[in-house]
Amino acid sequence: MTAVRPREQGPSAFGEAFLQDPGLFPGRRSGETWGEREIAFELAGGAYVFSGLEPSQVDALDGRFGSRVVGPGGSRVETLVFCAEAREFRELEQGRPYTFDLDYSRASVRLAGPGFMARLDWTPDLRGALWTAAPGTSFGGAFENYFRVLLAYRLLDLGGALVHSAGVRDEAGGGYLLFGPSGAGKSTFARLAREAGASVLHDDLNPLCRGKGSTALKALPLSGDIGLGPGAAPPEAPLRALCRLRKSETDSLRPLHLSEALASLLACCPFVGRDPYRADQLLQNLESLVRGVPAYELSFARAGRSWTLLREAEQA
């Protein structure tokens, strides 16, 4: 899958890096669908249904989310998948990391990336549309890039948040969210924690979900260096602590004030964190989710005992 990072609309026109004619970006959910099949699965935030698929696309999603596929009924967010022509997209260098575009408005969010374009609309409830020229197994890249954004906004509407982070679960089932800017050491710490006996939920993206009087950390079967494999049943864990990571020569732990933790978390929330129309709601969600949960800055060394240090602090 082509590596993609989000890029909010900058000086260049929205979509021009990926679309041959950005001016033809669809103004509404319309077009010719790939087929008449659909698949629904349950993940963080509830049920998601993708319709307008051909059989090979359904098979690709079933292979990834098979353990979470659900039947009809209940509350769900719908996405229609439309067939685009390959000539609508620019040819991109294979293997190069690209930054896809987002364009924000009060009523919608538009996306453009390698081989896909999409939009989220609130009319008044969230629903989506995805246009791609990718059939079968190649559908997975366009799907996952789109789904990460959809997931972030679904969680926002439900009082939760999606965070660039490492999610770790201890032997007793408690969850720890370890976050920080790129290069802070999320994957490195996740490996250290796993070597010390913990299990890793995901080393890149983790949902914080509102529970009954608590916050749940839920795993995602999405691409990452460490985490669940395709088809695995995602576990969840009650959130026990938040940790802002910092690489260091020595291990140390210091408490973070709530305002420090919130500011750092907000910077680690992709897509929604830079949405000028919804960032305030995200901040409110984060404050509600993490109040009462211990927050630390964890400085860790590669050869240290940082995971043990964190666990001892929580048990004290």
The CATH number of the domain covering residues in 161-315: 3.90.228.20
Extents of the domains making up the chain: 4-157, 161-315
Q: How confident is the prediction along the chain (316 residues), in pLDDT tens digits per residue?
A: 344 444 544 446 899 999 999 999 999 999 999 999 999 988 888 899 999 999 999 998 888 787 788 876 677 899 999 999 999 999 888 777 777 899 999 999 999 998 999 999 998 899 999 999 988 778 888 898 999 999 999 999 999 999 999 999 988 889 999 999 888 888 888 888 888 888 888 888 999 998 777 899 988 877 665 655 544 445 788 999 999 999 889 999 999 999 999 999 999 999 999 999 999 999 999 999 998 899 999 998 887 788 888 888 877 6
- Cα 265 from Cα 198, distance rounded (Å): 23
Question: Is the separation of the CB atoms in 237 and 206 below 8 Å?
Answer: no
- Angle (CA) 56-57-61 rounded to 5° is 115
The first and second tokens of residue 7, run together, are 């890029």
Cis amide linkage into residue 124, ω under 30° from 0: yes
E strands in 45-185: 46-53, 76-83, 98-104, 108-113, 116-122, 126-132, 161-169, 175-179
- Cα 220 from Cα 230, distance rounded (Å): 10
- Cα 58 from Cα 224, distance rounded (Å): 22
- Cα 41 from Cα 48, distance rounded (Å): 6
Question: 10 Å Cβ neighbour count for 124?
Answer: 6
The first and second tokens of residue 104, run together, are 């924000």
> Torsion angle of alpha carbons 297, 168, 50, 91, nearest 10°?
70
- Cα 66 from Cα 54, distance rounded (Å): 17
For residue 200, what are the β-bridge partners? 168
- Cα 184 from Cα 270, distance rounded (Å): 16
Write the Ramachandran bin of 231: left for phi over 0, alpha for psi from -120 to 50, otherwise beta: left
DSSP state of 125: S
